[in-house]
Structure formats: C-alpha cells, structure tokens
Amino acid sequence: MGKPTGFLEFRREASADRRPEERVKDWDEWHSPVPEATLRRQGARCMDCGTPFCHTGKLIGGMASGCPVHNLIPDWNDLVWRGQWKEAAVRLHQTNNFPEFTGRVCPAPCEGSCTLGLNDDPVTIKTIECVIADRAFDEGWICPDVPATRTGKSVAIVGSGPAGLAAADQLNHAGHTVTVFERADRVGGLLMYGIPNMKLDKSLVERRVRLMADAGIRFVTGVDVGRDVPSGSLLSDWDAVVLCCGAPQARELQVEGRSLSGIHLAMEFLHANTKSLLDSGHADGEFISARGKNVVVIGGGDTGTDCVGTALRHRAQSLVQLEILPRPPDRRAPDNPWPQWPKVYKLDYGQEEAAALQGADPRRWSVETKRFVGDAEGRVREVHTIDLEWRKSLDGRFHAIEISGTERALPAELVLLALGFVGPEKAGLLGDLGLKLDDRGNVVTDGEKMTSVPGVFAAGDMVRGQSLVVWAIEEGRKAARGVDRYLMYGETSLP
C-alpha cells in the first residue's frame, strides 16, 4: 500500500493536458509531464483496501472490472510513493509486456474498480503506470530480453497487433524461435494504424519492436498469410502457429445512399491518415482529408473519438457525432454498481477538443441515421436523421421508437462510420485452415487457446470479439503459455 493516511491527506490530481485549442494544431501526444512529487502523492493515495479489486480482471455484466493483465497495482503504487522507481518498473513488467501502450490507450478499468472510488475519486493508476514505463525507458532499464538458451522449436505468429506482440514476446522469452507476419508495411497492427499518433506516438511502437527484434524475434512485413504465403505452409514449416489477426470486419450501415462517395469506414480514414503522416507528414496527399468539410461521425467508442480528433486536426469546417444510444447519466445508475466500469457521461479527448472549438459537445444522443443524400455527381451532401425514444419492454430489454416530427438533415461532405466490428475476416486463412467458429463468427479455442486444428492457436479480438488493447495483451500471454506447454510436453516456464 501507499501511505496509510494518504487517501485522507491527498486529493486526486489528474495529469495536465495541453490545451485543446493548441493540441489540435499538431499530431503530438497531448499529455504534459507530471512532476515526480505529484506522482508520489498519487501513489500514496493507494489504500490498504484488503481486497484490491483493481487487479482482478473480471467481466461483470459484460463490462471489464479491474486490470485484465492483473497488474500488481498496489505494489507499484507503494514503490512509487517510496521513490523506488526501478523496482516499480520491474513489478509492472512482471504482468504487462507493454505498459507504455496501456498507460496511454487503456480506458483504465482498474480505476473504475478502485476501492477508493466507492466514496472518493480513484487513484490515478493509468498515469502512474505510464510514467513508470516512460521512466524505465529514459533510465535505460528496459533492454532486449535475449533468452539464455533456445529450445529448437519454432513458432509462426500471424498478426502484429497487441495480442501478436505479447505472444511473440513471451514465446521468445521461453526460448522458442519466433517469426511474426504482418500484412501492413509496418509492425504494430491496431497500435500502429488503428490508433492516431496524438493518442499513441508511433515512435513508441517502433522502439518496442526494435527491442523485440534485438531480442531475436523476426518480423516480416508486407506479407498476407493465406495469399502471399500458403496457409498450409504454416503447419509444415513451423512447430506451432498463433493467429492474432484481430476483428477487422467492420459493422456496416445499410441505408439508402450508402454507396455515395465521401462515406468511409472509420478504419479506412484512420489507417490512411497515420500512414500518410508517417510516410510524408501528409505531403503525399494519400489520405482522406476532412479539411474544410462538414463532417458527421456516426458511432461512438474509442474509434469514434479518434475520428473526431483526427478530423479536427485536418481543420474540418464543422463536426457532429451521432450516437444511437441515450446520453449516459452523470453518476452511476443503480444498475451499474461499483466495481463495474462506470457507464457515466464524460468528454473524451476528441469531444473535449470539439467543445473547445465549437462551443459544445459534438455528440447528439438517441439519433438514428435514416439515409444519405448526394449531389448530381454522386457525392454525399446530407445525412438525414430522426430522434429516438428508448423504452423498456416487459422482458426488461430496451427498444427504440422513432419520434415523429424530429426528422432533420445535417450537411455533410464527409461521413465516417464508427459502428464497431463484427469479427475476423472469414475468407483466406480461416477458411483454408478449416477452423471452427462460434455463432458470432469468432474463432473457437480451448482453455489453452488452441483452435480446432492441433498446433494452431488463436488470441485477441478474433477469439473474444472487439475489445481493449489490454485484453488483447492478456490473450496473447495466455496463448503463449498454451503454445509453450504444447511444445514442451506439458510443461511451461511462462507465468
């Protein structure tokens, strides 16, 4: 624990962010450095709560509660309070392969289940985690993890997102020879092209990948397994295979006018933007620009927010975000008790920036898109919507009813669909290998993360569905344990 009376003496002090009006002018991360004295006080607030729900990593009512990778949060909070930063970094890396990522992009379910949050503001766990990781790199405490011996076993990993990288890191640590295939031109998957640079600087992803390569992991980019490499060769050329291909199949919006130009899936927009930024600083023009356009983002979540933040940095003329669900309450509802993730109203970074520039939260709640209207050249010009009323039926489920007279037309030259994802791509690799799928179209695995094909394992979103980066890391770690046990005759050295 931290200081025994710390939670009584110190208030929560969130990390200072750059002003929204300033940070939308560039693609740099928006957080400002946090003084060490502030961080130590925040670590001191971690109380001796008996049962630390912050690292339980459970799903309660379908919502994450506590840290999925089971970070030893009270331990490193206490070490930060005592100024023992190197020891804190060691403890953090025992459970989390990439705290520099999760410290930036994780929504922090650990804070939602912090015991202090029952009647006070929770500990700033996410900020402390991020600074521990950054300090460890700055001080040179993070070095390539080169195994002392090799097992002679080889593993192919398809996909270099957080699940694939975590599995690769763990399996390399166990002494196996690991090759990671990535069909994009850069390693990182979602971390590289799905999350904008201002949220996760790509130099941090590249730094971690270099460390892993120096530790002996081989990365092969620009290769689509199942097309450029025959799926069958995975089984013949490697002793085990781990599929970490994500759930890139986006949910569509099948309404009138969907085929008009100017309507894009969110990931098309985000991927092209980051690639152009990294390739040329946007000088090549190979991205979907929102500059000077009326932009409508349909959908919410992290992806919707990232679309908002990206469009604002393009200098969009106006921006509206449509949410089909009602506005969340300002405080926990009775059916959303602690330690569940608090489903409450908040401004994420993109909405905060839009509010600073436009004077109000850009989201419009309980709104359904009815159709898109275009011009004579087939370009989108309007989004037609109607307001909804959500009512609870006798079976306890909510359903939406259109409110007559609330139809409206929003000007739009760019529409971004951020409606979530429905599962992995079925064509190609999955079909070639004949993997068993569940009723949602996700890959079925056993307790060891092995699929219906012996020696082929799967992890991440392609198994559990669209989820958080931190869940993907935990999935990759579990798959690595399963692979290690499979290759080492029922034994494993991995945690």
Residue 76 has pLDDT above 70, yes or no: yes
Please give the pLDDT value at position 486: 98
Q: Do domains 6-138 and 252-419 have the same CATH topology?
A: no
Residue ranges of alpha helices (H) inside 400-468 are: 429-433, 461-464
Q: Is the pLDDT of residue 375 over 70?
A: yes
Q: What CATH class is the domain 252-419?
A: alpha beta
* Band of residue 393 on the pLDDT scale cut at 50, 70, 90: confident
- Domain assignments of the chain as residue spans, ordered by start: 6-138, 154-196+204-221+423-487, 252-419
Asked if the model's pLDDT at residue 216 lies above 70, the reply is yes
- Among 4-8, 378-382, 470-474, the range scoring the smallest mean pLDDT is 4-8
Reported as a pLDDT band with limits 50, 70 and 90, residue 1 is: low
Both structure tokens of 261: 């130009």
Site of tokens 């985000």: 270
H/E stretch holding 379:
none
Mean pLDDT of 221-230: 95
Q: Is the pLDDT of residue 139 over 80?
A: yes
131: tokens are 């600074």
Residue 59 pLDDT = 84
Predicted TM-score of the model (pTM): 0.96
What DSSP letter does each residue of 22-83 carry, written as one string?
Answer: HHTTSSS--BPP--HHHHHHHHHT----SS-GGG--EEETTEEES-TT---HHHHHHHHHTT
Q: Residue 49 pLDDT > 90, yes or no?
A: no
Specify the CATH architecture of the domain 6-138: Orthogonal Bundle (1.10)
Mean pLDDT value of segment 27-49: 92
Composition of the chain by helix, strand, coil, percent to 5: 35, 20, 45
* pLDDT tens digits, one per residue of 249-305: 999 999 999 999 999 999 999 999 999 999 999 999 999 999 999 999 999 999 999
- Write the CB contacts of 464 (distance below 8 Å, at least 6 apart in sequence): 442, 471, 475
Q: Which two tokens stand for residue 146?
A: 């080169």
Residue keyed to tokens 């791509």: 425
CB within 8 Å of 426: residues ≥ 6 apart:
249, 437, 441
The CATH number of the domain covering residues in 154-196+204-221+423-487:
3.50.50.60
Mean pLDDT of the chain: 95
What proportion of the chain, given as a percentage, has pLDDT over 70? Answer: 100
